[in-house]
Structure 1
Amino acid sequence: MAYLRSLAAALCCGFFLSGALAAQQPPNATSVAPDAAIKPRPKVALVLSGGGARGFAHIGVLRALQELRIPVDIVVGTSMGSVVGGAYAAGSSVEQLEQLVRRTDWNAVVADRPPRDELVYRRREEDLLLPSRIELGAHLDGVSLPPAAAGNEALELALSRVLPPGARDKPANLLQLPFRSVASDLVTGELVELNDTPLFLAMRASLAVPGVFAPVRVNQRLLVDGGLVRNLPVDVAREMGADIIIAVNVGTPLAQEKELVSAVSVAQQMLQILTEQNVQRSLKELRPDDILLQPDLGGIGFLDFARHERAMKEGEAAVRAMSGRLVALALPEAQYASYELARSSAPVAIDQPVRLTKLEVAPSGRINPKELEIQSGLKLGQLVTSEQANKAGNQLFGRGDLARVETEVRDDENGRSVLIKPTEAEWAHSRLRVGLELSSDFTDNNAFELKVMHVLSSLNDWGAELRTIGRVGTERALTTQFWQPLGVGSQWYVAPTLEYGASSTDLFDSRGLRQARLAYDYQAASLVLGRQLGRWGDLRYSLVRQLARGHYSIPEVLEKQRETQTVHALTFNIDSLDTIAFPTRGTLFTLDWQRAVQKSGITSPAPTQQRVQGLEAFHAGRWAGHVYAEWARSQGGASENNLGGFLRLSGTTPDSVQGSRTILGRIVMARSIGAMPAALGGDVRLGFSLEAGGAYSPQDPLRWGSLKQAASAFVAVDTRFGPLYFGTGTTKGGNSSAYLFLGPIW
C-alpha cells in the first residue's frame, strides 16, 4: 500500500514540480512604484513558478533583486511561488521569509496527519494497538485511499506564519503590490485567477497539488494547483499591464532514460512531459525585453526541504548571472528606499484579545457541531486573539476525521465572533488500518501476525465509536469495543467490550530451558467506565468476566482445564510521545492493577496482578533515545511475568525469564543516519541498548548482583508498517542472538 500511495503522490506531484506563472493587475490595485513624474519606467511583473522545495530559490531571487534595487510592480505565483510571492506582496521582508524557511518543520508540513502529540488520546491509543500508518477508507462499495497524501493542519499553520499580521483575510487584490494566485478548477479544468479571494485561501488553493494536498473549495468551485492548466501564464501578466516580465522557472527537468526504472518514475515523467510542453508554449510568449531566470537546482527534489539554503543561494546566483540586463531596471538608492518603504509599510493590525460574543460551528456531515465547539476550547465571554481562535480551530484536526478546518474571525461593536467551518473527511468515517508484526531470532523463536483495525466514528450525536481489531498468525484474536461518551463532548465514557483469542505460551525452568508449552483459548466480556485526561491520558475501571480453557501441547495432554473468573481492573495511562517508531520526546506510562474476586475451575487462590511501565524519550542533535523501566508482580496463582527477547534482555530466549516478580530497566540511544523516501517511512537510525533485569520471588529477594545484564546493537527503520529493527544482542554470561523485529518495543 505504501507503493500505491507513493504512486499516487508521484502521479500528482508533477504539476507541483515545475511551472512558472505570471500575474494580472486588478483594475483597482494601486502600485507602490515611485511617482511616474520623477522617472517614467516600465511596469515590472515578477512571475514565480511552483516546485516544492525548489521554490525556496524564489527567496534568493528576491534577495538579489533587492540588492540590485530592482522594483517589482506586480507579483504572480503558483504553488510555492504563490506562497513566496503572496507574502512578499503583502509586505513581508526577505529576512522574514528566510527565517520562516529555516524555522519551519517541513517534514511535518507534508506529513499525512498532524503531529502525534496533537492527536486526541483515542487516536494515540490506536497507534499503540497497531503502529502501522497504512489506512484506507472502508465502505460498502469497497476500499479507497485518502484523497491526499499529506494532511492540512501543518501546511495551513505554515501559511499563516508566512503572512504579516492582518494579511491572512485581506483580499489578494488589495495588497501592497498587485498580486495574483493561479489555480485550476478540478471539475472543468479551467484556469482560475484568485484576485478578490482572501490571501490565505488564494495561496492555499494554489498549493492544492492533487493527491498531495486536499482540494480547496472557493466560491463553490473545487480548486487545485494552477500548474495543471497554465504553468507560465505570461498572457495573464500582460493583461495586468506588465511591460517587462521577470519569470522564474524552478521546474524539474525531464529525467534521463537511465532514471526511468519504475512505474512511479515513468508516471512522473509522463506528467512532466505534459507540463514542459505547457511551459514551452508560454515561453514563446516572452518578448525580447523580458527576462527568464532558471536557477541551477540540480539534485534538489520537490521534497528536499532540508536543502533550502542551497536553493536560496542558487536563486541569488541566477539573478546575478543576469545582472547585466537587470541593472537597466534599477532605481537610484533613495528612490528604491522610498519604494521599499511603501511596499512594506502596510498598516499592521495588532492582534489584541477581544471578548468572544458569538461562537458558531457550521454543520459537517455526521459530526455534531456542538461536539466540535466543546473540543475547540473556546467559550463565550473569554478574551481571545485572532491567533488563539485559529489555533482552536486547527486543533480539531487532532480528531482524525476532518479534511479541512476554516476559521473566520470578525469584530464589531459588540465584540468578536468566530465561525468554524469544518469539512468532514468522508473516507475517515469508516477507517481500516492494516499492519504486520513479526519477530525472529533466526532459530525456533519466530512469531508473525497480520493485524487489521476498523473504526466507525460519529455513530451518534455524542460521538460514539465502534472499534474492531482482528489478529491472525501466531496468535488469533478478535476484539470489538463500543465506545460511548456520556454526553456531547464529555470526557467520561463507557465502553462495552467483547473479546476472543487463542494462543500458546512456553514454560521455562530456572535455567531458561523450555519445559512445556501451554495452548489456550479465551472469551471475555467487559464493561469499562473511564475518563479521558485531556489529550494526554486516560483513567479507566473495567469489570471483566472471562472464560479460559487450556491444555499442554508439549508434552501433549489432551485433557483441557477450564477456568472462569470475574476481574476488577484499574488502569492509568499517559501518552505524550511524538512518534511510536523511535520517539524523540514525550512520555509513555502505564499503571495497571487487576484482582479476580470470583474464580472457578481450579483450586488456586484468586490472583492479583500489578504492573508499572514507564518510558521517557529524549534527543540531542542527531541522537535520540529513551529510558525505560518496568516492574510487575503476580500473587495468588496468577500467570507468571516474563522477560527475554529483543530489548527485554537481548540475547536471552524470548519470555524465558519467568517469575512472580520481574524488573527491567534499559537505556536506548540511536543516531540518525538517513531517511526512507517520504512515501515509505521516516528516519533510519543506528543505535545500541544497555539493559538489566531479572525475575525473583518473595522467597528470593531482589539483589542487584542477581540481575541479568544485556546489550544490543541495531539498525532501526521507521516504516509505514511500524518500526523495523535489525540487530544483535547478548546477555552477560548467557546467550547471544540476532534479531529481526517489526512492531512496538514495549
Structure 2
Amino acid sequence: MRNGDQVLVDGGLVGNLPSDVVRKMGAEVVIAIHLEVAPAKPDEIQSFFSVLGRSVDVIVRENEIRGLAAADLVVKVDLHEYTSLEYEKSKAIIDKGRQASEEKARVLEPFALTDTEWQNYLSARNSRRRGSGLTPQFVRVEGTSAGAAKHLEDFLQPLVGKPLDTKTLDGLLTRLSGIGKFDSVGYRQIQDGTRTGLLVMVHEKSYAPPVLQFAFEVDASESADVTFTQAARLTLMDVAGYRSEWRTDARFGNTYGVSSELYRPFTGASKWFVAPHASASYTQFKIYQRSDPLVIYGRTDANLGVDIGYGFNRFSEVRVGYEVGDLDAKVRLGQAQFPSIAGRTGNAKLHFLVDHGDDPVIPRRGYTAETTFRWYDTSPGALEGFPTMEGQVQYFQPITRPASIFVTAQGGTTFGTRDTGPVPQFFLGGPLRLSAYGTNELYGNQYYLFRLGYLHDLFTLPPFLGKKIYAIGSYEFAKMYGFPLQSGFPNDINAGVLAETAFGPLVIGGSLGDSGHRKWYFQLGRVF
C-alpha cells in the first residue's frame, strides 16, 4: 500500500516473528509460534521463480531467528509435509497447530485465562478501540486529474453529512480500485479551516490504461479436427467521458474478425449508459453427425448497432437496442443441410444479465442468469418478421470444502414461428451442449437443455501456471423440437479434468451418450 511517497509491503520481510514489536506494545510475556517448514531440496530449485522464492525464504528465516531469541516461550509446529501454497489443507495445518499447543499445555497453563477473565480482557480491548468518530462535511480526492477527481467526489458524495461507516467506505473504495485505473486507494481525515473532511488518495497505474491483452483458443470439440484462434483485446478508458470504456477485440485463425464496443454512461455517476458497437467476422461453421463431418459453411457476418442500458449494480444490467447487419453463409465442403443464404439482417433486442458467481471463469458458489429476446424485422429467406428468445440460468452450491454441485438450465424458442428462413435459429451438440453429440448435430427453432454436475478441487497450481485443477462430472439431457433424426431422449454423461491455467481454462474430458454417441474432447484458452 502507499502512504504518501512511501510504498509499504508485508512486514514479514523484515519481521516475520515480531517479538520486539509486541514487547514494546506492553506485553510482559511473549509466546512465539514457530512454523517449521521443510528445507528446500536442490532438485526443486530449477527455475527463476524457485530461486526467487528461496531467496525470500532465506531473508524471512533470518529475521525469524531474531524473533525466536526475543521470545519467552516458543511453540514449534511441525509443517515439514506442507508447502506455503497448499491452502486447501488449511484444516489439517490448523490441527497441527492445535496438537503442538496441547503438547505444551503444562508450560502454557500458567498463562491461561478463565472464561470470565477472557471476556473482561475483550471488553477492555474493545473499549480502547477508536471508532471513526468522523462525520465528513466534504470529500476531497487527490492523485488524479481535476476532472476525474470531480467525478470521484460526486461518486463519494453520499458519505457527506453522515457518521462515517467504514464498512460502506471500504466497499466504495473497493469499487474504485476495481475499475482498472488505480493500483491503490486510501483515505484519511483532514481539516479545511473549521470543516472536517475525508481525503481519498488514489494512485493511478503507471502501465495502464490502455490495456492490451493477448489470448488464444485451441478447440478440439472434435478430436480429429483441432482448430486454433489467436485473439487480442485493446481497452481504452475515459475516451468519451469519465467511466467510458472502449473495447476492441481481434481474432485470427479458425475465426477471423474484429469487434468493438464503446460503453459510455450518460454522466460520470449515472447508471444509464449507451453502447454503440460494430463487428465483422468470417468463420467455418461445421455440422457433424456423431464424429463424421457432414458440411462446412463459410459464414461471413457484419453488424452495426447501438444499445441503451441500465446497470442496477456491479452484478446486473439490462439493455435494449437495435442491430443491422449482413449475413452470407455458403457451402464450402460437404453435403448442404440447408441452402446457402445471403442478405440483410435487422433486429431489435432486449438483453438481461445478472452474475452473482464467485469466480468469472470457474464458479463454485452463486448463480448467473442471462436472456436475450430479439425481434427480426428482416432476415435472409424469411418472408416476414419473427421473434426469438434464448436464456440460461446456472446455480452453484458448495457441499463440502473441496466439492460443489451445479445445475444449468437453458433453452431457446421462436414462439411457434416456423417461417424464420431456411437456416434454423438454434443448434445443439458439442462440449456443454450435449457433449457426446457431434458439433451442431441437432438443429431447429426450439430446444431445452439441462445439466447437473459435480466439481471437486484436486490441487492448486503454482502461481505462475494458474490457479486450481478440478475433477468434473456431469449429466446432460436435451431436446431439439422438430429435428427428425434425434433419439427419443438425447442425453449423456461426462467426466474430465478442468483447470484454470495462466493460458485460460483447460478442459479434457470424455462423454458417453445415448444411441451410440461417444466422444473425447479438449479445449484450452480464451478468457474474454
TM-score (norm 1): 0.59
Q: Report what 1:429 is aligned to.
A: 209
Aligned-pair distance for 1:494?
Answer: 1.6
Q: Report what 1:502 is aligned to.
A: 282
1:734 counterpart = 2:516: yes
Q: Report what 1:258 is aligned to.
A: 43
Aligned-pair distance for 1:474?
Answer: 1.6
Aligned-pair distance for 1:366?
Answer: 8.4
Q: Amino acid of the residue matched to residue 532 of structure 1?
A: G
Q: Report what 1:711 is aligned to.
A: 493
1:533 counterpart = 2:312: yes
CA contact (8 A) 2:37 2:81 kept: no
Q: Amino acid of the residue matched to residue 707 of structure 1?
A: F
Aligned-pair distance for 1:486?
Answer: 1.0
1-structure distance, mates of 2:233, 2:369: 23
SS at 1:742 equivalent: strand
Aligned-pair distance for 1:731?
Answer: 1.8
Aligned-pair distance for 1:553?
Answer: 0.7
Aligned-pair distance for 1:243?
Answer: 11
| Aligned pairs for 1:356-435 within 5 A | 357-364=137-144, 368-376=148-156, 378-382=158-162, 384-408=164-188, 417-435=197-215
1:97-127 Cα offsets, whole Å, 9 max, x none, are xxxxxxxxxxxxxxxxxxxxxxxxxxxxxxx
| Aligned pairs for 1:145-156 within 5 A | none
Aligned-pair distance for 1:591?
Answer: 1.8
Residue 250 to residue 620, structure 1, CA distance change in 2 (3 Å):
closer
1:550 counterpart = 2:344: no
Q: Amino acid of the residue matched to residue 583 of structure 1?
A: P
Q: Amino acid of the residue matched to residue 475 of structure 1?
A: T
2-structure distance, mates of 1:234, 1:418: 35
SS at 1:707 equivalent: coil
2-structure distance, mates of 1:592, 1:242: 63
Deviates more, 1:424-433 or 1:725-734: 424-433
| Aligned pairs for 1:197-596 within 5 A | 216-218=1-3, 220-226=5-11, 250=35, 254-273=39-58, 295-305=77-87, 306=90, 308-310=93-95, 312-313=97-98, 316=101, 323=107, 341=121, 344-345=124-125, 347-349=127-129, 357-364=137-144, 368-376=148-156, 378-382=158-162, 384-408=164-188, 417-441=197-221, 443-459=223-239, 461-507=241-287, 514-555=293-334, 562-596=342-376
SS at 1:296 equivalent: strand
Aligned-pair distance for 1:372?
Answer: 3.1
Q: Amino acid of the residue matched to residue 542 of structure 1?
A: G
2-structure distance, mates of 1:672, 1:269: 27
1-structure distance, mates of 2:316, 2:386: 27
Residue 317 to residue 304, structure 1, CA distance change in 2 (3 Å):
farther
Q: Amino acid of the residue matched to residue 527 of structure 1?
A: V
1-structure distance, mates of 2:162, 2:309: 29
Deviates more, 1:235-244 or 1:497-506: 235-244
Aligned-pair distance for 1:713?
Answer: 1.8
One of 479, 489, 498 as aligned partner of 1:694: 479
Residue 355 to residue 273, structure 1, CA distance change in 2 (3 Å):
closer
SS at 2:167 equivalent: helix
SS at 2:101 equivalent: helix
Residue 263 to residue 367, structure 1, CA distance change in 2 (3 Å):
farther
Aligned-pair distance for 1:549?
Answer: 3.0
2-structure distance, mates of 1:615, 1:714: 20
1:9-67 Cα offsets, whole Å, 9 max, x none, are xxxxxxxxxxxxxxxxxxxxxxxxxxxxxxxxxxxxxxxxxxxxxxxxxxxxxxxxxxx
Aligned-pair distance for 1:653?
Answer: 0.5
One of 428, 433, 452 as aligned partner of 1:648: 433
Deviates more, 1:312-321 or 1:423-432: 312-321
Q: Report what 1:32 is aligned to.
A: none
Aligned-pair distance for 1:645?
Answer: 1.3
Aligned-pair distance for 1:671?
Answer: 2.6
2-structure distance, mates of 1:475, 1:375: 41
CA contact (8 A) 1:359 1:380 kept: yes
Which of the pair is proportionally richer in helix?
1
2-structure distance, mates of 1:333, 1:379: 42
2-structure distance, mates of 1:249, 1:312: 10
Q: Report what 2:395 is aligned to.
A: 616
CA contact (8 A) 2:412 2:448 kept: yes
Unaligned runs of 5+ in 2: none
Residue 642 to residue 442, structure 1, CA distance change in 2 (3 Å):
closer
Q: Report what 1:723 is aligned to.
A: 505
Aligned-pair distance for 1:685?
Answer: 2.6
Aligned-pair distance for 1:584?
Answer: 2.3
Identity of aligned residues (%): 20
1:412-441 Cα offsets, whole Å, 9 max, x none, are 9x9984333222333342223333333325
**Cα RMSD (Å) of the superposition?**
4.4
2-structure distance, mates of 1:356, 1:648: 54
Q: Amino acid of the residue matched to residue 646 of structure 1?
A: P
Residue 582 to residue 563, structure 1, CA distance change in 2 (3 Å):
same
TM-score (norm 2): 0.80
CA contact (8 A) 1:581 1:744 kept: no
SS at 1:387 equivalent: helix
Aligned-pair distance for 1:502?
Answer: 0.5
CA contact (8 A) 2:259 2:278 kept: yes
Q: Report what 1:636 is aligned to.
A: 420
Q: Amino acid of the residue matched to residue 636 of structure 1?
A: T
Aligned-pair distance for 1:657?
Answer: 0.7
1:681-724 Cα offsets, whole Å, 9 max, x none, are 33433232121112223x98xx9x83312221222223233332
| Aligned pairs for 1:12-27 within 5 A | none
1-structure distance, mates of 2:456, 2:113: 50
Residue 455 to residue 293, structure 1, CA distance change in 2 (3 Å):
same
Residue 376 to residue 575, structure 1, CA distance change in 2 (3 Å):
farther
2-structure distance, mates of 1:529, 1:554: 41
**Which structure is richer in relative contact order (CA contacts within 8 A, separation 6 or more)?**
1
CA contact (8 A) 2:77 2:97 kept: no
| Aligned pairs for 1:93-112 within 5 A | none
Q: Amino acid of the residue matched to residue 187 of structure 2?
A: T
Aligned-pair distance for 1:464?
Answer: 1.4
Aligned-pair distance for 1:259?
Answer: 2.8
**Number of aligned residues:** 512
Q: Report what 1:685 is aligned to.
A: 470
Q: Amino acid of the residue matched to residue 210 of structure 2?
A: S
Aligned-pair distance for 1:519?
Answer: 0.4
Residue 367 to residue 591, structure 1, CA distance change in 2 (3 Å):
farther
1:265-302 Cα offsets, whole Å, 9 max, x none, are 2333344445656777x59x969x97776543323433
Residue 353 to residue 662, structure 1, CA distance change in 2 (3 Å):
farther
Q: Report what 1:52 is aligned to.
A: none
Deviates more, 1:729-738 or 1:232-241: 232-241
Aligned-pair distance for 1:255?
Answer: 1.3
Q: Amino acid of the residue matched to residue 549 of structure 1?
A: D
SS at 1:268 equivalent: helix
Residue 608 to residue 718, structure 1, CA distance change in 2 (3 Å):
same
Aligned-pair distance for 1:736?
Answer: 0.8
CA contact (8 A) 2:215 2:525 kept: no
2-structure distance, mates of 1:389, 1:543: 39
